[in-house]
Chains A and B, each alone.
Chain A
């Protein structure tokens, strides 16, 4: 919780500085656009976070956006499927991909990094081959008003500062985050996720089916990526499969890590991931609004993550050292061990 508070204060600070330097930051249209991006990039970051909590990683989501995107457009445009059928098909495909990842990691005992790195390469290639390197998009004149509203629409809200459009992508993100927050922090499955991430062997000795728990995390991650890919199709309207979603897995990982997920597993919270996703988009926005060359986009993001994680760890070390010199009565041995180090 302390971690989340620190992150929240960092967001407030960055936002305040940006707003001071460029008041356009606070315009309802800017906030609405930023919220839309938070929704788009936050949705799959939650799935990535779950995988990271199990001690794994999923590098394949960016390529999945391209592959699922072109398949979705193909189903919709060329096969003439109603979107109410095409979306579930994509989600099922996501579950299949997640299951394959889980099978390779758990049954074939491959490392998650390698499995999903190969996924990243394979799905990207498959997407490019699927369209023959062509860009796919909606043909002129076709429209799916309901789908467009659900993914890309905004609900106008009157405020004293003007009309604010609440993006439905953001609403979807908050809904998913709330549900996953309850699942992770209150449910049996969530507790098992942490247990498996902390110490898989002890979890197994307590009767937890660790394989199922980890598999579920990968399946949720790929399924959320599938849903996200529909949002991204509607956001970009066309897909160049060679570049669509490039590096997007790193935004998800970055949000999770900023939000307190440790790559060693067993740590992190949904609220933290939400804050991480918010901070990333505010940073993007800051680069645009403050006239920083957009080539420095990644540099700013990398710098902030580096400093954030560094400060956090130094604070933890400082607290441990202080606790050690105080010497808690119940564990004098561990206090001694800590000072010894």
Chain B
């Protein structure tokens, strides 16, 4: 191995009352892919902020190309070629690709007029896009681009800054399977051209597939380092949580019952030409897999009354129900845990207690006035039941970690009487420990006779949790798989065009 380009030695960061990092040493050489994993709160983000010059460590040394420093400034980090591709992209969707890549550094013309030299700008951006194999040009507006394409724009921006170390924070969490493959190959190309990639992800399979080395953080310490040959799923989990995770799948306690939630010839506005037929039975977890854009979320939104049904009907225990608003769905016992919990699931500025009671407020308001004590009591009960880690239920929901926020969304529904619950990407951006708890809750619901429909893009999760899987392709159900038939290949075959798979 070559001399490390960048070395962090004994980095410690203390906040009053919190030890965010203690004695963490981390180094990267040129042209390697380093995985950085750990549960939420393990210190990954803090460590990366030290690298970005945003946070000054309490102790430790940062050494770049042989020069030792106590701390970096943001400009030091940029000069050293350290670039970030954030989980939530920092792009302007009202501008075009080239403008985004060179934002704040536009080549100028016209002297004191400071006009943007558009030709020079485009000429500078075009080769970067070509290098990344982008199917769009510098003049393309950002707005219509998919998340995966936007990520490439962000990477182009990093390259335009002559980045030597690109830090990617959960870059694949919102990508489809094929987009993820593409991104991983871009990462390998970057490596081949001498750029180092620090890859932070909760998707261990991707880490296993693509990294040369893995550093595992736990509670602010380095819990372990794995070399290429040692990077195995179980080994990583053991280091991350300090114990073996039991096999993901827990079978249902009883045989599944009758169909509870049935979709009969359902047509959504996103895919007006196709009909969806689907039945979720009492006591089962039905996984709904497929590529992003296959129409899964649209089905969920229509069933929950967010969007109008274009055609077909929803039946509950054999009887058709009219769902024209979410209120109707809730009244029938059909609940949705939405994909984007920060936007649709929670009121981040309101307290945990107010969030938990929101969908069932009249139950806490005899005579129209809210009984706050009853409201708080219920929230406390849910907090205990779901193990929501929060000092009191008066805390604003926005201050909680991702896993705990998701539990608050669940608490909202579990304080009522669910008949069917739809989970849309229930564990996106959630750490391993909370994931396991949420799976346990889903199984608990199913065992109590609730029909559970789980939409997920994470194949590991779909295979690990579902009793049965339905796969969607271009707005239609392309097939069902029983537990015994589940495999990544079988799902992928149904999710992508099966014709092209025939040799």
Confirm or deny: B400 has a beta carbon within 8 angstroms of a beta carbon on chain A: yes
Contact partners of B391 in chain A: CB under 8 A = 330
Stretch at the interface among A188-196, A222-230, A288-296, A303-311: A188-196
A198 adjacent to B369 (CB under 8 Å): no
| CB 8 Å contact bits of B390-408 with A (1 = contact, 0 = none) | 1100010011110000000
Interface pair B389/A330, CB less than 8 Å apart = yes
Known: A188-B368, A207-B330. A340 touches B336 (CB 8 A): no
Least Cβ–Cβ distance between A198 and chain B, in angstroms:
5
Q: Which residue of B lies closest to A337 (CB)?
A: B45
Digit string of A302-341 for contact with B (CB within 8 Å is 1, else 0)? 0000000000000000000000011111111111100110
Q: Is B284 an interface residue (CB 8 A)?
A: no
Nearest-Cβ distance from residue A216 to partner chain B, whole angstroms: 14
A335 to B55, CA, bound (A): 12
Evaluate contact between B365 and A188: CB separation under 8 angstroms.
yes
Q: Chain A residues with Cβ under 8 A from B346's Cβ?
A: 199, 202
| Docked pose: A230 CA to B256 CA in angstroms | 67
Alpha-carbon distance between A340 and B74 when the two chains are bound, in angstroms: 11
Q: Which residues on the B side are within 8 Å of A186 (C-beta)? A: 369-370
- Interface positions of B from 328 to 385, Cβ below 8 Å from A: 329-331, 336, 338, 343-350, 354, 358-359, 361-362, 365, 368-370
Residue contact A340 to B49, C-beta cutoff 8 Å: yes
Bitwise, B1-40 to A at CB < 8 A (1) or not (0) is 0000000000000011110100000000000000000001
- Contact among B344, B362, B365 for A202, CB-based, below 8 A: B344
Point out the residue from A334, A335, A340 that lies within 8 Å of B54, measured CB to CB: A340
Residues from chain B with Cβ under 8 Å of A182 in the complex: 369
Question: Could you tell me the distance between the alpha carbons of A327 and B58 in the complex, rounded to whole angstroms?
Answer: 15
Counting residue pairs across A and B whose Cβ atoms lie within 8 Å, the total is 110
Chain B: residues with Cβ within 8 Å of the partner, total of 48
**Contact in complex: B347, A331 (CB < 8 Å):** no
Interface size on A, residues (CB 8 A): 35
User: Does residue A209 face the partner (Cβ distance < 8 Å to B)?
Assistant: yes
Q: A298–B40 Cα gap in the complex (Å)? A: 53
Chain A residues 161-209 with CB under 8 Å of chain B are: 182, 186-189, 191-192, 194-195, 198-199, 201-209
Chain B residues with Cβ below 8 Å from A188 are 361-362, 365, 368, 370
A42 at the interface (CB under 8 A from B): no
Is the CB–CB distance between A336 and B362 below 8 Å?
A: no
Residues of B within 8 A of A332 (CB): 15, 18, 20, 41
Q: Are A207 and B327 in contact (CB under 8 A)?
A: yes
Task: Verify B16–A336 contact, CB threshold 8 A.
Answer: no
Q: How far is the CB of A234 from chain B (nearest CB, A)?
A: 33
Q: Chain B CB within 10 Å — which of A189, A206, A325, A340 has the most? A: A206
Listed from nearest, the 3 A-B pairs whose CB atoms lie closest are A327-B15, A207-B330, A331-B399
